[in-house]
Structure 1
């Protein structure tokens, strides 16, 4: 028995070596990836059936005279049997391919066993399909695993030779020769086949891990190259950016030459055959035009399909890349021979094309978001000025009738205010001292209208003068207190604007001693551009939107009513300096 076991292991090793080589063929991945249809099922039934037949021929002949010494047995005598590793192929077919593949491989192996004859031929003819069927059913319990673990496969496969030995005894009616044969080959076949299945599964897992590592490495490599080339491609396709991109690709991909084109002409060519005459040359080859039209990678396998033509360049991969859904240009990777373009190069080129296209689309989306945000901020800023201008012009119309001198002073102040406003709104942020100057100009207009009925005090903590703030932020808040908070008040109105350092930010508070905000509007203020006699109009909404867009939700306006009466508006901006600081204003009182 020990000698038979050793012989089985020796010959099983040769079988596993052959199957390991077979697992390297690309078609084998279809089974591992569970992409199963009837064609794939038939193909792999034949594959594993042939593995099983190979295991039979690699077995050891057992007869009346003992263990046979020859390696290949074409047929068996009536009293002979094979101690083999044929069940490895059958069990693997069921575990990897399921019921259909396992049964198909078992039928093929069973027909071969019946054709070889011998003492066990008839029993194996119908036991092997049953074993394949059962292996496929067992595999359903491990459907979530891509490949069953080797230890699990080893223990599951123990049942196969045990079942086969039982069938042999039943088919031969437990004859003396059958019992002697089962006692001789049973244990060696259980050990050899179960260990063989475990090794086979371990080999498949090793192949998969190797491919996954290679795929991860190539993906990381493609992403690295795309990240290096993106800063140049984002600047647009010019001769300079194309040349920089081509140099990166040639260095990283180790191609013999690299060219970058737009949809019309060659922008850069580096490597073999480089000459300045290529820059600006029109795209001529049919494959390049086809790549631009279809957006699909093309392989140039003949010199006549290569541009520019050079004796040392015999093949190329033409990789289109997109921007905004349209083909924006080509990357051409040149090689000495078509033999250098392996499937891994083609797969890498496809990945590189997708990565560059995705990165360009992301860059375009970011640019569009920036433009839209800037446009929205400018639109919000533009809405504040007409709102204030409308109120001031109404006041001038009133003063012309009752106090022409005051109307003239207000008009002069308005002109000064608008000039300052035009200067400030060129940027989304201004130094705080300029914002306070802007507010003082506005208050100069307001004081002419309200004279001694209004007191506005601005307090700015020292050291905050250069902090960046959106222009025309304080003026709309003070204006809201004047026109809404103090509306209908008979006594003197008081407004306080305070700016103090708090942690990593600057806390800004504007409060008045008016009637306060209506309770039902507190949750809505600044969220929608409300209108109506009790609303705060567009001013608060626009200020709130600009603060959120520039600094985030943490800088939104917060509205409340003071316990002693009146309204309070608060917000916080980051403590960040504006480099355009020109002067300082520590406090303003009016």
Structure 2
């Protein structure tokens, strides 16, 4: 009995070597890795059935309780039997492929074993088919329960099926005494060795599965890496600069020999091989790209003829072209070229297809972001426009009153008003203006008010030096001064004191307007800046507008706070991040280019 163990291990080694060689074939790995359709199940049937046939041919012939022959067995004497590893392959096939594969592989290996002959031919044939049926059923049930086919589980089922074969031999093989002697000789070696062989076979299968997981993980990681590096450029839209950067990133992080991006009518970028004739701003060079734009489908070419480049000496021999879509409209293509067709394998195709979908999504997000900015720009312009008539009507009322009492002062007031609006015509078209421009507006406004009410308001400016060129939203300070004058001192006979402080701290520009007026009730402060408030004494439009514009331009990084105490005065503070040009990223030259 123990002499049989080394021989059986040798036979297991043959099957394991064959399985290992198969595992290096892409087609075999694909069958093992994928969910199995009918075609792939048929292939599994023949594959594991073949393992059973090999086991039959390479088994050990047993005659009169002794080892008779160990070579290639094409026929077994009627009074002899066979010790082999047939059940191992059938059990693994059934566990992986389900009942259909188990039954099919069992029939192939069982019928072949029956045809070899021997007094256990029928018993072994029947037991092989039963092993396939049981393994297939148990494998399917385990998968339905959400459990994996582990090596331990496979070994256990393999050993049980081999023990079942021994039982069937005892029940069906004749004469019984000879069957009993045979089982005593081969039972333990076959159960043990088949279990060990099943373990090795499952290690190979698990290695294939782990390789698939690693490949997918690497693909996912690479796709995320590419997406992360290309996102800033896709946000710029499809142009020659952004597309060149995108192509260079993809060339570095993929196995492609050349990468190109086009819009719907011309090449925007091409880096890598064939850059001599695939040039930016040129018309589309390949018929493959034109067909992809027309069909909206992913196209794969494995020959130069399929690429259909107008240059006969073009080194590119394989390509995958992916349409880029925004809201189901084709706006361009992403192309990955290869100088050797075999480099464009399934992994590269899957990566390219994933990136094509990802890039289309990034373009849609960039377009949505651009539309959001345009809408926000329009909203901010509308909010700024609301302030113009607010100040204009107040000024006209002041001029109207002075026209009856002092024509010279009215004339001076008109000049101040003219100067104010002349400066603001340009400011109203901008998101940001220099601080010195806003201070000019404030001084013009104060001049208008003090002309109407001389010696009623005393204004103090405390401005940190060298802040004239700092950019702030227009109509940020002037409405605060206007509010302090009109709502801080209604009917007051005492002189009003207003202090304007502007300084930098913690990399922020701070604008503070303090008055000693009547103050604001606490319940009103809670809503000021958050909504327009219906009130006979003012609706808070100016504060609301300033707050909305700060939020829109600085994306929540700026702040406006109000502190007040009834009969003691009010302090309004604005904090703006220094060096920020808001979400529109403009500089001083572009602001005042017109």
TM-score bucket of the superposed structures, by smaller chain: 0.7 to 0.9
SS at match of 1:452: coil
The corresponding residue for 2:85 is 85
In structure 2, distance between residues paired with 1:68 and 1:154 = 29
> After superposition, where does 1:376-415 map in structure 2 within 5 Å?
376-401=379-404, 403-415=406-418
The corresponding residue for 1:551 is 554
In structure 1, distance between residues paired with 2:306 and 2:563 = 78
Q: Contact 2:97 / 2:136 at 8 angstroms: preserved in 1?
A: no
Pairing 1:176–2:192 present: no
* Structure 1 residues 368 and 165: alpha-carbon distance in aligned structure 2, compared to 1, 3 A threshold: same
Pairing 1:303–2:305 present: yes
Q: How many aligned residue pairs are there?
A: 577
SS at match of 2:530: coil
SS at match of 2:531: coil
Q: 1:354-401 CA distances to partner (integer Å, 9 max, x unpaired)?
A: 455445445444444444444443333333223322332233334434
SS at match of 1:210: helix
In structure 1, distance between residues paired with 2:427 and 2:12 = 85
* Residue 448 of structure 1, aligned match among 448, 451, 466: 451
> After superposition, where does 1:476-555 map in structure 2 within 5 Å?
476-487=479-490, 489=492, 491-499=494-502, 501-533=504-536, 535-555=538-558
* Structure 1 residues 136 and 513: alpha-carbon distance in aligned structure 2, compared to 1, 3 A threshold: same
* Structure 1 residues 197 and 377: alpha-carbon distance in aligned structure 2, compared to 1, 3 A threshold: farther
In structure 1, distance between residues paired with 2:47 and 2:334 = 41
The corresponding residue for 2:161 is 160
> After superposition, where does 1:249-264 map in structure 2 within 5 Å?
262-264=263-265
Q: Contact 2:464 / 2:503 at 8 angstroms: preserved in 1?
A: yes
SS at match of 1:549: helix
In structure 1, distance between residues paired with 2:329 and 2:192 = 61
In structure 1, distance between residues paired with 2:580 and 2:245 = 37
> After superposition, where does 1:274-293 map in structure 2 within 5 Å?
283=284, 287-293=288-294
SS at match of 2:69: coil
Q: Contact 1:486 / 1:512 at 8 angstroms: preserved in 2?
A: no
In structure 1, distance between residues paired with 2:505 and 2:304 = 71
In structure 2, distance between residues paired with 1:452 and 1:174 = 131
> After superposition, where does 1:322-333 map in structure 2 within 5 Å?
322=324, 324=326, 325-330=328-333
Q: Contact 1:269 / 1:275 at 8 angstroms: preserved in 2?
A: no
> After superposition, where does 1:22-171 map in structure 2 within 5 Å?
22-23=22-23, 24-26=25-27, 28-29=29-30, 32-33=33-34, 35-74=35-74, 76=76, 79-98=79-98, 101-102=101-102, 105-106=105-106, 108-114=108-114, 116=116, 118-119=119-120, 120-121=123-124, 124-125=127-128, 127-133=130-136, 135-136=138-139, 139-140=142-143, 143=146, 145=148, 148-151=149-152, 153-155=154-156, 157-171=158-172
Displacement of 1:124 after TM fit?
0.7
Single out whichever of 277-286 and 395-404 deviates more from structure 2. Answer: 277-286
The corresponding residue for 1:203 is 204
Pairing 1:8–2:8 present: yes
Displacement of 1:417 after TM fit?
1.7
* Structure 1 residues 517 and 251: alpha-carbon distance in aligned structure 2, compared to 1, 3 A threshold: closer
* Residue 577 of structure 2, aligned match among 564, 569, 574: 574
* Structure 1 residues 99 and 451: alpha-carbon distance in aligned structure 2, compared to 1, 3 A threshold: farther
The corresponding residue for 1:587 is none
SS at match of 2:319: strand
Single out whichever of 311-320 and 5-14 deviates more from structure 2. Answer: 311-320
Displacement of 1:478 after TM fit?
2.4
* Structure 1 residues 63 and 283: alpha-carbon distance in aligned structure 2, compared to 1, 3 A threshold: same
In structure 1, distance between residues paired with 2:574 and 2:96 = 64
Q: Contact 1:230 / 1:359 at 8 angstroms: preserved in 2?
A: no
| Cα RMSD after superposing both structures | 4.4
Q: Contact 1:52 / 1:109 at 8 angstroms: preserved in 2?
A: yes
SS at match of 1:309: coil
* Structure 1 residues 38 and 471: alpha-carbon distance in aligned structure 2, compared to 1, 3 A threshold: same
Structure 2 unaligned spans of 5+:
582-586, 590-594
Q: Contact 1:96 / 1:139 at 8 angstroms: preserved in 2?
A: no
Q: 1:318-365 CA distances to partner (integer Å, 9 max, x unpaired)?
A: 524425354344566666675665445544543554455445445444
Displacement of 1:206 after TM fit?
2.4
Single out whichever of 526-535 and 11-20 deviates more from structure 2. Answer: 526-535
Q: 1:272-321 CA distances to partner (integer Å, 9 max, x unpaired)?
A: 87766988775586544321111322416353862223156583425244
Structure 1 unaligned spans of 5+:
582-590
